[in-house]
Each structure stands twice: as structure tokens, then as C-alpha cells.
């Protein structure tokens, strides 16, 4: 069968188009791939920068929280004890020997209490370094300090075992825990707080439950303190985790993060 010149021209034209489309398609694919790769690298760089900024912010907030607690403890506890000691000593009258011994003993007891409080305070200063020894020790220390006020029934359970390379994530987790605990004490008016850390091979769960008055998330988000809840969700998302909130006979917040 003989091919006409018209069919031959058509065939050559079709082949030329195919040969032109192939390299153009290949170039387009390579360009799209490079653009996707570039966007992926930019996203990775942005996530790394965001994580580093959030880590620094969390470290500063942990220190600020410690300093606020220190200031309150110095003023409310140690300051009052030393003031009472000074007042007691100033009322001693040498011409009343029967009362001198009694007042000296009283001042001595107040001074010993002040010394005990100072020792606890030194442990608090050391407490911000506990995150380097493990998340469970830092949380336990925070709860033990809260127990000294004798206003809350507190329970803590943990099967936590530290893993290499997770310290930065734990600092952010600890700051999230501090924020939730602060909300339970200040806003929820809770009298009982239950904290648990559950760990398996691939994940870590931190659960904080209180018997407070609870809240409606949509309403809280409209208020100024809704920023705290927003920050909690943002930080958990940044470390690849998720937050679950259950409002029933109080508030239960579960934070689950990858912990390989």
C-alpha cells in the first residue's frame, strides 16, 4: 500500500509534535518537581524555625513561672515568718524573765520554719533543671510544691522512661502542663487534680484531670484567657501531637505526642 504525500506530511507533522511534546513535558515535570521540593524545604525550614522559637519561648516561660512562684513564696511565707520573728523579739522585756524564755522559744520556732521554707525555695530554684532529669520528675516536683498549700487532693501516676533526643519536646510538654495546671487552680477552682503519664514504644500521653467547674471551649476562645487554650493546641501541633478535651464532672485534657 502506497502512502500518499498528504498522509506522509501528516505523519511527519504528528511525529514532530510528539517529539516536541515529550521534552516539553519532561521539562515541565522537572520544574514542577523542583518547585515542590523547594516548597517542601521551605516548609521544613519554617517548621524548624517555629519549633526553635517555641522552645525558647517555653524555656523563658518556665523560668518566668518559677520566678513568680519565688516572689510569691518570699512575700507570703518567708517574709511573714521573719516579720513575726522580729515582732516577737521586739516585745521581749528583760524585766519580765518569766516571759523571756517563752518568747525566745517562739522566735526560735519561727526562725526554724523560715529556714525550712528557704530550703524548699532552693529546691524550687533547682526545679527548673529537673526537665533535664526527666519529664516525670519535673511534673512530680511541680505537684509536690502545689501540695504544700494543702488546698488540693493530688494524685500522680507514671510509667515514663526518658528517651534520647526528646528533651526539647519535653520542655514544651512541661510548659503545656504548667499552663493546664495553672488553669485548673486559678480558673476551674478545682479541689482535686489527677495527673498521669502513659508511655508506649511510639507515643507519650500526658493526662490532666480536675474536678473543677469546666468550661465551654467556644465561649472561652472568645475571652482573653482563650489564648491559653489556643497556645496549648498550637504547641501540641508543633510537636506533632494532638489534644483531646473532655468536659464531664470537671475537665480532662489528654495530650498525645509521638515519642519514638
Residues 183 and 250 sit within 8 Å (Cβ to Cβ): no
Q: Cα 220–256–140 angle (5° rounding)?
A: 85
For residue 164 the three cell numbers come to: 534520647
Residues 98 and 62 sit within 8 Å (Cβ to Cβ): no
Provide the mean pLDDT of the chain: 79
* Class of CATH domain 135-140+151-260: alpha beta
* 174-231 pLDDT per residue, tens: 888 988 998 888 888 889 999 999 999 899 999 999 998 877 666 666 665 556 788 8
According to DSSP H, which parts of the chain are helical? 5-73, 79-90, 97-127, 135-147, 167-186, 217-222, 226-238
Across 81-90, 120-129, 148-157, least confident range:
120-129
Residues 62 and 128 sit within 8 Å (Cβ to Cβ): yes
For residue 125 the three cell numbers come to: 530554684
Question: Alpha carbon of 132 to those of 46, 56, 66, 145, 243: distances in Å?
Answer: 26, 15, 16, 18, 24
At 156, the pLDDT band (50, 70, 90 cuts) reads very high
Across 40-49, 133-142, 239-248, least confident range:
40-49
C-alpha 126: how far from its chain's center?
A: 18
Q: What percent of the chain has pLDDT over 90?
A: 14
pLDDT at 60 over 80: no
- Highest mean pLDDT out of 56-65, 142-151, 203-212: 203-212
Residues 241 and 258 sit within 8 Å (Cβ to Cβ): yes
Residues 196 and 158 sit within 8 Å (Cβ to Cβ): yes
**Residue 150 burial (10 A CB sphere; 0-12, 13-18, 19+):** exposed
Check residue 201 and report its DSSP letter. S
Average pLDDT over every residue of 153-160? 94
* 103-124 pLDDT per residue, tens: 888 888 888 888 877 776 666 5
- Highest mean pLDDT out of 12-16, 99-103, 136-140: 136-140
Amino acid at each position: 500500500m502506497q502512502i500518499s504525500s498528504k498522509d506522509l506530511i501528516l505523519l511527519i507533522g504528528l511525529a514532530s509534535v510528539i517529539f516536541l511534546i515529550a521534552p516539553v513535558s519532561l521539562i515541565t515535570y522537572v520544574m514542577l518537581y523542583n518547585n515542590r521540593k523547594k516548597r517542601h524545604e521551605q516548609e521544613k525550614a519554617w517548621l524548624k524555625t517555629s519549633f526553635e522559637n517555641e522552645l525558647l519561648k517555653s524555656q523563658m516561660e518556665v523560668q518566668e513561672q518559677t520566678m513568680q512562684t519565688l516572689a510569691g513564696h518570699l512575700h507570703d511565707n518567708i517574709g511573714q515568718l521573719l516579720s513575726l520573728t522580729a515582732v516577737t523579739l521586739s516585745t521581749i522585756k528583760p524585766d519580765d524573765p518569766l516571759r523571756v524564755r517563752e518568747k525566745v522559744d517562739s522566735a526560735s520556732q519561727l526562725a526554724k520554719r523560715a529556714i525550712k521554707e528557704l530550703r524548699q525555695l532552693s529546691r524550687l530554684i533547682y526545679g527548673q533543671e529537673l526537665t533535664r532529669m526527666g519529664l516525670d520528675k519535673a511534673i512530680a516536683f511541680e505537684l509536690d510544691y502545689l501540695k504544700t498549700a494543702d488546698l488540693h487532693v493530688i494524685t500522680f501516676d507514671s510509667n515514663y522512661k526518658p528517651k534520647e533526643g526528646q528533651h526539647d519536646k519535653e520542655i514544651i510538654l512541661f510548659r503545656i502542663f504548667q499552663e493546664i495546671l495553672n488553669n485548673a487552680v486559678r480558673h476551674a477552682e478545682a479541689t482535686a487534680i489527677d495527673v498521669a503519664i502513659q508511655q508506649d514504644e511510639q507515643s507519650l500521653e500526658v493526662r490532666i484531670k480536675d474536678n473543677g467547674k469546666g468550661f465551654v471551649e467556644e465561649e472561652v476562645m472568645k475571652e482573653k484567657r482563650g489564648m491559653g487554650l489556643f497556645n496549648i493546641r498550637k504547641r501540641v501541633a508543633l510537636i506533632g501531637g494532638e489534644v483531646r478535651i473532655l468536659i464531664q464532672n470537671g475537665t480532662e485534657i489528654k495530650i498525645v505526642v509521638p515519642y519514638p
